[in-house]
Amino acid sequence: MALIVKKFGGSSVANAERVLHVASIIAEDYKKGNNVVVVVSAQGDTTDDLIEKANEINPDGSSKRELDMLLAAGEQISIALLAMALEKMGLPALSLLGWQAGFETDSHHGIARIKRVNTERIRNEIAKRNIVIVAGFQGINKYDDITTLGRGGSDTSAVAIAAAMKADVCQIYTDVDGVYTADPRKVDNARKMDEITYDEMLELATLGAQVLNNRSVEMAKKYNVELEVLSSLENKPGTIVKETVNMEKTLIRGVAKDTNVACISVVGLADKPGTAFKLFNKLAQFEINVDIILQSVGRDGTKDITFTVPKDMGKTAVEALSSMKDFLKYKDLTIDESVAKISVVGAGMESHPGVASKMFEALFDASINIHMISTSEIKISVLIDSENADRAVKAVHDAFFD
Binders in 121-140 for ligand ASP, by CB under 6 A: 136-137
Q: By CB under 5 A, tell whether 238 contacts Mg ion.
A: no
**SS3 assignment for the chain:** CCEEEEEECHHHHCCHHHHHHHHHHHHHHHHCCCEEEEEECCCCCHHHHHHHHHHHHCCCCCCHHHHHHHHHHHHHHHHHHHHHHHHHCCCCEEEECCCCCCEEECCCCCCCCEEEECCHHHHHHHHCCCEEEEECCEEECCCCCEEECCCCCHHHHHHHHHHHCCCCEEEEEECCCCCECCCCCCCCCCCECCEEEHHHHHHHHHCCCCCCCHHHHHHHHHCCCCEEEEECCCCCCCEEEECCCCCCCCCCCEEEEECCEEEEEEEEEECCCCHHHHHHHHHHHCCCCCCCEEECCCECCEEEEEEEEEHHHHHHHHHHHHCCHHHHCCCEEEEECCEEEEEEECHHHHHCCCHHHHHHHHHHHCCCCCCEEEEECCEEEEEEEHHHHHHHHHHHHHHHHC
Binders in 67-96 for ligand ASP, by CB under 6 A: 74
Q: By CB under 6 A, tell whether 153 contacts ligand ASP.
A: yes
Using CB under 5 A as the criterion, what x/- string covers residues 40-59 for binding Mg ion?
A: -x-----x------------
Binders in 1-30 for Mg ion, by CB under 5 A: 10
Residue of this chain nearest to ligand ASP (CB atom) = 154
- Binding part of the chain for ligand ASP, among 116-124, 145-153, 188-196, 216-224 by CB under 6 A, reads 145-153
Least separation, in Å, of the C-beta of 47 and ligand ASP? 3
Q: Residue 47 or 141: which CB sits closer to Mg ion?
A: 47
Least separation, in Å, of the C-beta of 98 and ligand ASP? 11
Q: Residue 74 or 178: which CB sits closer to ligand ASP?
A: 74
Q: Residue 212 or 359: which CB sits closer to ligand ASP?
A: 212
Q: CA quadruple 306, 309, 311, 317: dihedral positive or negative?
A: negative
Q: By CB under 6 A, tell whether 151 contacts ligand ASP.
A: yes
- Binding part of the chain for ligand ASP, among 117-125, 151-159, 160-168, 373-381 by CB under 6 A, reads 151-159
User: Which of Mg ion, ligand ASP, none binds 44 (CB below 5-8 Å, type-dependent)?
Assistant: none
User: Which of ligand ASP, Mg ion, none binds 254 (CB below 5-8 Å, type-dependent)?
Assistant: none
Least separation, in Å, of the C-beta of 42 and Mg ion? 6
User: Which of Mg ion, ligand ASP, none binds 153 (CB below 5-8 Å, type-dependent)?
Assistant: ligand ASP
Size of the site for ligand ASP (CB under 6 A): 12
Q: CA 229 to CA 211: how far, in whole Å? A: 8
User: Which of Mg ion, ligand ASP, none binds 98 (CB below 5-8 Å, type-dependent)?
Assistant: none
Judging by DSSP bridges, how do beta strands 3-8 and 35-40 pair with one another? parallel
Q: CA 303 to CA 295: how far, in whole Å? A: 7
Q: Residue 11 or 308: which CB sits closer to Mg ion?
A: 11
Using CB under 6 A as the criterion, what x/- string covers residues 11-50 for binding ligand ASP?
A: ------------------------------xx----x---
Least separation, in Å, of the C-beta of 354 and ligand ASP? 40
Cβ(225)–Cβ(170) under 8 Å? yes
- Binding part of the chain for Mg ion, among 35-43, 249-257, 338-346, 367-375 by CB under 5 A, reads 35-43
Q: Kindly tell me which residue out of 3, 4, 10, 139 binds ligand ASP, with binding defined by CB under 6 A.
A: 10
Least separation, in Å, of the C-beta of 251 and Mg ion? 34
Cβ(215)–Cβ(137) under 8 Å? no
Applying CB under 6 A, the residues found at the interface with ligand ASP are: 9-10, 41-42, 47, 74, 136-137, 151-154
Applying CB under 5 A, the residues found at the interface with Mg ion are: 10, 41, 47
